[in-house]
Structure 1
């Protein structure tokens, strides 16, 4: 029950912020012009600062073994590789392909990872998960740029694609965060506080904007995509990764870090990026909404089973 309450406490604020956004749109405090600008602001300014802040505060742990890092990176690329091979064969619409692939491989690791591991293992679990956040999040964002551009109807050439990747605000924020962390640069306290205040704006604003733009009445049009991605994101992929991790001998905090990486709902920023790349952002928003709604129950299920069998 404690773990269910924890999961609900983590997920409920995210869900309620989306509901608040939908309500503000309903009573016309939010309009379409504001929502477009809010999403652009979140993508270009707030999320990069949030990623930088998470990586800066993680202080890349030297205690995490290379085996865990390599395993996590291989897992991410394996999921991406499998989805790149299968999704285009099953879905013909380019605007849906990139969104589905992104929804399957890209979890809400930034928002859930540290708090979930800390709740499971206390401070003992922070070294593993914060290091993985610093490494995996840039990979998530780097690959999202490539995949969404690959399946965008507005094709760019190789040079433009490369420029899009290296100038992507999320990647820039992540890379700067890694450099500052690796070089052990200590920012002045007033700068840290300003960065922290700005990063705290990212998730609430993005979630309310997402709630304002989600067209719930159209969910039935995308029901098959939502069912497949939500099941894959919340059940199939976490189960497969947990079994693979066990076969490689991961237990305790390291298993918890891997679980925190793959168990959360679809990343909130996936909606904003889908919008920026002219993919099916309506579907992307619905995937975030539905997977967020069900994630407390699937996270609880996995935690309960693993605690019962003595893995945590």
Structure 2
């Protein structure tokens, strides 16, 4: 019973914030225009400040785990590489293939990683998960651009692509945080307090906006792909990564960071990027919607099992 209550306490606060957003959209306190602006504000301001603040307050030299970073990078490359072999054999349309591959590996790590880690292990765990975020997010973006471009008729200018990734606010926030942490640069107290206050609003606002944004129609049109990708993204891949991580000796906060990387729903930004290419953006949006709806159940299940066996 204790592990059951623990699992509920981890997942319900996150899911409740999303439900608040859905409710506010239904009663028309949030409209499409506001949600678009709020998403932009969260992406360009709140989440970068959150990443900076978490890294700034952590001791990077103490929490930077080379084994964890290498494992996380390699496991993502292996997943994408495997999908490049498997997906074309199962999915006929090119414009669907890129969306399926992206949906299987790319998660809402920034949005869910921090609250999951904090809810499971407490605030002292944030240094590990935020450092991992700072490494994985650029890789997610590079892989997403490569995948979408590979299956698109409209080939990209890779120089512009690299520049756009470097200019990504999440990457900038992470990089500045790493610099400040490594060089032991201390902000004036009033600035540090302001940054902390802004960072504290990032997760609840982003989750509320996400809840208000998930409104998709015509789900039956892509039901087979939606079912396959949702099962793969929320159950099969997290299970494989967790088991592999345990074999390599990861547990506790480190295993929690890896879990937070693979267990959440498909990244919202995958839909935005799909719009820029000749890919099935409708399917991308539907995957965000469906995996977001079911991820609280699968995350709860994994947490309950891992807590019960003493790995969390």
Q: When the two structures are superposed, what TM-score results if normalisation uses the length of structure 1?
A: 0.80
Any unmatched runs of 5+ in structure 1? none
Q: Distance in 2 between matches of 1:136 and 1:148?
A: 18
Equivalent residue for 2:253? 253
CA change 1:144–1:56 in 2 (3 A) is farther
Q: Distance in 1 between matches of 2:181 and 2:64?
A: 15
- In the alignment, which of 2, 16, 20 is matched to residue 19 of structure 2? 16
Aligned positions of 1:205-244 closer than 5 A: 214-244=214-244
Aligned positions of 1:292-307 closer than 5 A: 292-307=292-307
Q: Distance in 2 between matches of 1:47 and 1:124?
A: 19
Equivalent residue for 1:5? 8
Aligned positions of 1:1-312 closer than 5 A: 1-20=4-23, 22-23=25-26, 27=28, 30-31=31-32, 36-122=36-122, 125-152=125-152, 154-196=154-196, 198-199=198-199, 214-275=214-275, 279-312=279-312
CA change 1:206–1:284 in 2 (3 A) is farther
CA change 1:163–1:184 in 2 (3 A) is same
- Which string of whole-angstrom CA distances, capped at 9 and with x for unpartnered residues, describes residues 231-276 of structure 1? 1121111110111112212233322222222222223343344445
Please identify runs of 4+ aligned residues in structure 1 that moved more than 6 A.
none
Q: Distance in 2 between matches of 1:259 and 1:150?
A: 29
Q: Distance in 1 between matches of 2:46 and 2:123?
A: 27
Q: Distance in 2 between matches of 1:117 and 1:28?
A: 31
**How many residues matched?**
309
Q: Distance in 2 between matches of 1:204 and 1:276?
A: 28
CA change 1:212–1:110 in 2 (3 A) is closer
Contact 1:4 1:296 in 2 (8 A): no
CA change 1:170–1:309 in 2 (3 A) is closer
- Which string of whole-angstrom CA distances, capped at 9 and with x for unpartnered residues, describes residues 160-180 of structure 1? 333333333433333333333
